[in-house]
A = this chain, B = another copy of it.
Amino acid sequence: MHTQRDSLAAATIGMERMELDQDAAQRRRCTGIAGRHATTAAELAHARLKTLILDNGLPPGSQCLESELALRLGLSRTPIREALVRLQQDGLVAITPRHGMRVLPLIAADMREIYEVLTSLEPMAAELLARRPDPSAGLEPLEAACSAMERAIAAREQLAWARADEAFHLGLAELCGNRRLAGMVMQVWEQSHRARIFTLQQRPLPTRSTTEHRHVLRAIAAGDAERARELYRRHRRRSGGELVSIIERSGVAWL
Protein backbone atom coordinates (compact mmCIF):
# COMPACT_ATOMS: atom_id res chain seq x y z
CA MET A 1 0.00 0.00 0.00
CA HIS A 2 2.84 2.25 0.92
CA THR A 3 4.88 1.46 -2.10
CA GLN A 4 1.84 1.60 -4.30
CA ARG A 5 1.09 5.14 -3.23
CA ASP A 6 4.73 6.10 -3.49
CA SER A 7 5.16 4.85 -7.01
CA LEU A 8 1.89 6.42 -8.07
CA ALA A 9 3.00 9.79 -6.84
CA ALA A 10 6.46 9.33 -8.26
CA ALA A 11 5.00 8.63 -11.67
CA THR A 12 2.68 11.59 -11.49
CA ILE A 13 5.30 14.18 -10.86
CA GLY A 14 8.20 12.32 -12.30
CA MET A 15 10.60 11.60 -9.51
CA GLU A 16 11.67 8.64 -7.49
CA ARG A 17 12.36 9.88 -4.02
CA MET A 18 11.43 13.36 -2.93
CA GLU A 19 13.26 13.24 0.31
CA LEU A 20 16.87 14.26 0.30
CA ASP A 21 17.86 11.27 2.36
CA GLN A 22 16.84 9.48 5.46
CA ASP A 23 18.96 11.74 7.61
CA ALA A 24 16.96 14.75 6.59
CA ALA A 25 13.76 13.26 7.88
CA GLN A 26 15.54 12.27 11.04
CA ARG A 27 16.96 15.72 11.48
CA ARG A 28 13.64 17.41 10.97
CA ARG A 29 12.09 15.12 13.50
CA CYS A 30 14.61 16.31 16.05
CA THR A 31 15.11 19.96 15.26
CA GLY A 32 11.61 20.80 14.13
CA ILE A 33 9.06 22.51 16.31
CA ALA A 34 6.88 19.44 16.38
CA GLY A 35 9.07 16.51 17.16
CA ARG A 36 10.51 17.05 20.59
CA HIS A 37 11.12 13.39 21.21
CA ALA A 38 7.40 12.68 20.95
CA THR A 39 6.60 11.66 24.47
CA THR A 40 2.88 11.34 23.82
CA ALA A 41 1.10 9.30 21.17
CA ALA A 42 -0.51 12.40 19.69
CA GLU A 43 2.86 14.07 19.25
CA LEU A 44 4.21 10.90 17.74
CA ALA A 45 1.31 10.75 15.30
CA HIS A 46 1.86 14.39 14.40
CA ALA A 47 5.56 13.87 13.79
CA ARG A 48 5.10 10.67 11.82
CA LEU A 49 2.32 12.06 9.66
CA LYS A 50 4.29 15.23 9.00
CA THR A 51 7.30 13.21 7.94
CA LEU A 52 5.10 11.06 5.74
CA ILE A 53 3.60 14.09 4.05
CA LEU A 54 6.87 15.96 3.56
CA ASP A 55 8.59 12.90 2.15
CA ASN A 56 5.72 12.18 -0.18
CA GLY A 57 4.74 9.03 1.66
CA LEU A 58 1.29 10.57 1.62
CA PRO A 59 1.29 12.32 -1.74
CA PRO A 60 -0.55 15.63 -2.17
CA GLY A 61 -4.21 15.21 -2.85
CA SER A 62 -4.47 11.89 -1.09
CA GLN A 63 -7.36 11.47 1.28
CA CYS A 64 -7.25 9.41 4.43
CA LEU A 65 -9.93 8.66 6.94
CA GLU A 66 -9.13 8.99 10.60
CA SER A 67 -9.68 5.30 11.11
CA GLU A 68 -7.31 4.42 8.25
CA LEU A 69 -4.57 6.50 9.79
CA ALA A 70 -5.30 5.07 13.21
CA LEU A 71 -4.96 1.58 11.80
CA ARG A 72 -1.83 2.52 9.89
CA LEU A 73 -0.10 3.99 12.91
CA GLY A 74 -1.44 1.46 15.32
CA LEU A 75 -3.22 4.01 17.49
CA SER A 76 -6.78 4.88 18.26
CA ARG A 77 -8.61 7.75 16.61
CA THR A 78 -8.16 10.14 19.51
CA PRO A 79 -4.45 10.94 19.17
CA ILE A 80 -4.86 10.87 15.38
CA ARG A 81 -7.51 13.56 15.60
CA GLU A 82 -5.25 15.71 17.73
CA ALA A 83 -2.43 15.25 15.25
CA LEU A 84 -4.71 16.19 12.37
CA VAL A 85 -5.79 19.39 14.07
CA ARG A 86 -2.16 20.34 14.39
CA LEU A 87 -1.34 19.38 10.83
CA GLN A 88 -4.23 21.51 9.69
CA GLN A 89 -2.83 24.49 11.54
CA ASP A 90 0.55 23.69 10.01
CA GLY A 91 -1.11 24.24 6.65
CA LEU A 92 -0.23 20.75 5.47
CA VAL A 93 -3.65 19.11 5.36
CA ALA A 94 -7.27 20.10 5.14
CA ILE A 95 -9.89 18.31 7.17
CA THR A 96 -13.11 17.83 5.27
CA PRO A 97 -15.81 16.25 7.40
CA ARG A 98 -16.93 12.82 6.23
CA HIS A 99 -13.98 12.62 3.83
CA GLY A 100 -11.09 12.53 6.22
CA MET A 101 -7.97 14.59 5.81
CA ARG A 102 -6.60 15.63 2.46
CA VAL A 103 -2.93 16.37 1.94
CA LEU A 104 -2.90 19.89 0.56
CA PRO A 105 -1.34 20.17 -2.88
CA LEU A 106 0.85 23.16 -3.62
CA ILE A 107 0.04 25.21 -6.67
CA ALA A 108 2.13 28.01 -8.10
CA ALA A 109 0.00 30.55 -6.25
CA ASP A 110 0.92 28.91 -2.95
CA MET A 111 4.58 29.13 -3.80
CA ARG A 112 4.15 32.78 -4.65
CA GLU A 113 2.51 33.36 -1.25
CA ILE A 114 5.23 31.44 0.53
CA TYR A 115 8.01 33.35 -1.14
CA GLU A 116 6.34 36.65 -0.41
CA VAL A 117 6.24 35.68 3.24
CA LEU A 118 9.87 34.58 3.23
CA THR A 119 10.84 37.73 1.34
CA SER A 120 9.49 39.77 4.23
CA LEU A 121 10.51 37.62 7.18
CA GLU A 122 14.00 36.45 6.34
CA PRO A 123 15.53 39.85 5.58
CA MET A 124 14.26 40.93 8.98
CA ALA A 125 16.05 37.97 10.52
CA ALA A 126 19.26 39.00 8.79
CA GLU A 127 18.82 42.56 9.98
CA LEU A 128 18.25 41.42 13.54
CA LEU A 129 21.37 39.28 13.46
CA ALA A 130 23.41 42.15 12.12
CA ARG A 131 22.11 44.53 14.79
CA ARG A 132 23.35 42.42 17.69
CA PRO A 133 26.09 43.95 19.82
CA ASP A 134 28.60 41.47 18.44
CA PRO A 135 27.28 40.71 14.98
CA SER A 136 29.96 38.24 13.99
CA ALA A 137 29.45 36.02 17.03
CA GLY A 138 27.67 32.72 16.79
CA LEU A 139 27.53 32.65 13.02
CA GLU A 140 29.42 29.37 12.80
CA PRO A 141 26.38 27.33 11.70
CA LEU A 142 25.75 29.75 8.86
CA GLU A 143 29.42 29.78 7.89
CA ALA A 144 29.37 26.01 7.83
CA ALA A 145 26.22 25.98 5.74
CA CYS A 146 27.74 28.42 3.25
CA SER A 147 30.88 26.35 2.94
CA ALA A 148 28.81 23.21 2.51
CA MET A 149 26.87 24.91 -0.29
CA GLU A 150 30.10 25.91 -2.01
CA ARG A 151 31.48 22.42 -1.72
CA ALA A 152 28.22 20.97 -3.04
CA ILE A 153 28.32 23.30 -6.03
CA ALA A 154 31.91 22.31 -6.76
CA ALA A 155 30.99 18.64 -6.53
CA ARG A 156 27.74 19.20 -8.44
CA GLU A 157 25.77 17.52 -5.68
CA GLN A 158 22.33 18.99 -5.65
CA LEU A 159 21.02 17.09 -2.67
CA ALA A 160 23.92 18.18 -0.52
CA TRP A 161 23.34 21.74 -1.67
CA ALA A 162 19.67 21.58 -0.70
CA ARG A 163 20.59 20.30 2.74
CA ALA A 164 23.04 23.13 3.23
CA ASP A 165 20.51 25.65 1.91
CA GLU A 166 17.98 24.40 4.43
CA ALA A 167 20.56 24.59 7.19
CA PHE A 168 21.36 28.19 6.24
CA HIS A 169 17.80 29.42 6.08
CA LEU A 170 16.48 27.66 9.15
CA GLY A 171 19.67 28.44 11.03
CA LEU A 172 19.34 32.11 10.26
CA ALA A 173 15.73 32.14 11.41
CA GLU A 174 16.58 30.39 14.64
CA LEU A 175 19.63 32.47 15.40
CA CYS A 176 17.89 35.80 14.96
CA GLY A 177 16.40 35.53 18.41
CA ASN A 178 12.79 36.04 17.41
CA ARG A 179 11.00 32.80 18.12
CA ARG A 180 7.76 33.88 16.47
CA LEU A 181 9.56 34.84 13.30
CA ALA A 182 11.51 31.59 13.37
CA GLY A 183 8.33 29.58 13.78
CA MET A 184 6.69 31.29 10.85
CA VAL A 185 9.70 30.73 8.62
CA MET A 186 9.76 27.10 9.65
CA GLN A 187 6.09 26.73 8.90
CA VAL A 188 6.19 27.97 5.32
CA TRP A 189 9.50 26.25 4.79
CA GLU A 190 7.89 22.92 5.59
CA GLN A 191 4.91 23.75 3.42
CA SER A 192 7.17 24.37 0.46
CA HIS A 193 9.48 21.43 1.08
CA ARG A 194 8.07 19.21 -1.65
CA ALA A 195 8.20 21.98 -4.24
CA ARG A 196 11.78 22.82 -3.37
CA ILE A 197 12.91 19.25 -3.79
CA PHE A 198 11.04 19.07 -7.08
CA THR A 199 12.56 22.19 -8.59
CA LEU A 200 15.99 21.16 -7.47
CA GLN A 201 16.00 18.59 -10.23
CA GLN A 202 14.59 20.96 -12.81
CA ARG A 203 17.09 23.75 -12.70
CA PRO A 204 20.81 24.36 -13.15
CA LEU A 205 23.08 24.35 -10.16
CA PRO A 206 22.22 27.31 -7.93
CA THR A 207 25.60 28.95 -8.16
CA ARG A 208 24.22 32.43 -7.85
CA SER A 209 22.20 31.64 -4.75
CA THR A 210 25.32 30.31 -3.14
CA THR A 211 27.34 33.47 -3.64
CA GLU A 212 24.38 35.57 -2.54
CA HIS A 213 24.18 33.65 0.70
CA ARG A 214 27.85 34.30 1.28
CA HIS A 215 27.40 38.02 0.69
CA VAL A 216 24.49 38.20 3.10
CA LEU A 217 26.55 36.44 5.70
CA ARG A 218 29.43 38.90 5.21
CA ALA A 219 27.08 41.84 5.63
CA ILE A 220 25.70 40.33 8.81
CA ALA A 221 29.15 39.66 10.25
CA ALA A 222 30.14 43.21 9.39
CA GLY A 223 27.12 44.51 11.29
CA ASP A 224 25.72 46.24 8.23
CA ALA A 225 22.06 45.63 8.99
CA GLU A 226 20.59 47.66 6.15
CA ARG A 227 22.81 45.99 3.60
CA ALA A 228 22.13 42.52 4.99
CA ARG A 229 18.42 43.12 4.81
CA GLU A 230 18.48 44.49 1.29
CA LEU A 231 20.80 41.79 -0.02
CA TYR A 232 18.60 39.14 1.46
CA ARG A 233 15.44 40.71 0.14
CA ARG A 234 16.82 40.80 -3.37
CA HIS A 235 18.03 37.24 -3.04
CA ARG A 236 14.61 36.07 -1.97
CA ARG A 237 12.81 38.04 -4.66
CA ARG A 238 15.03 36.65 -7.36
CA SER A 239 15.15 33.04 -6.20
CA GLY A 240 11.45 32.98 -5.34
CA GLY A 241 10.59 34.31 -8.77
CA GLU A 242 12.83 31.76 -10.41
CA LEU A 243 11.32 28.92 -8.45
CA VAL A 244 7.77 29.94 -9.25
CA SER A 245 8.50 30.23 -12.94
CA ILE A 246 10.24 26.86 -12.95
CA ILE A 247 7.10 25.35 -11.50
CA GLU A 248 4.87 27.19 -13.92
CA ARG A 249 7.00 26.21 -16.92
CA SER A 250 7.33 22.63 -15.77
CA GLY A 251 3.64 22.20 -16.45
CA VAL A 252 2.78 20.34 -13.26
CA ALA A 253 -0.49 21.61 -11.91
CA TRP A 254 0.45 20.93 -8.33
CA LEU A 255 3.04 19.39 -6.11
User: What is the interface of chain A, defined by CB distance below 8 A to chain B?
Assistant: 81-82, 85-86, 89, 91, 113-114, 116-117, 119-121, 123-124, 128, 178-181, 184, 188
Tell me the smallest distance from the CB of A2 to a CB of chain B, in Å: 27
Does B86 lie within 8 Å of A117, measured CB to CB?
no
* Cα-based distance from A179 to B82 in the complex (angstroms): 24
Does A178 lie within 8 Å of B86, measured CB to CB?
no
Which residues of chain B are within 8 angstroms of A82 by Cβ–Cβ distance? 81-82, 85
Tell me the smallest distance from the CB of A128 to a CB of chain B, in Å: 7
Does B89 lie within 8 Å of A181, measured CB to CB?
no
A interface, over-half SS: helix
Tell me the smallest distance from the CB of A118 to a CB of chain B, in Å: 10
* Cα-based distance from A184 to B119 in the complex (angstroms): 14
Does B89 lie within 8 Å of A120, measured CB to CB?
no
Tell me the smallest distance from the CB of A237 to a CB of chain B, in Å: 11
Extra inter-chain contacts (5) besides given A81-B82, A82-B82, A85-B86, CB under 8 Å: A91-B180, A113-B181, A114-B180, A117-B124, A119-B124
Query: Which among B81, B86, B120, B179 is the interface contact of A120 at CB below 8 angstroms?
Result: B120
Does A178 lie within 8 Å of B128, measured CB to CB?
no
Does B128 lie within 8 Å of A181, measured CB to CB?
no
Which residues of chain B are within 8 angstroms of A180 by Cβ–Cβ distance? 91, 113-114, 117, 188
18 CB-based A-B contacts, threshold 8 Å: A81-B82, A82-B82, A85-B85, A85-B86, A113-B178, A113-B180, A114-B180, A116-B124, A116-B128, A116-B181, A117-B180, A117-B181, A119-B124, A120-B121, A120-B124, A120-B181, A121-B121, A184-B184
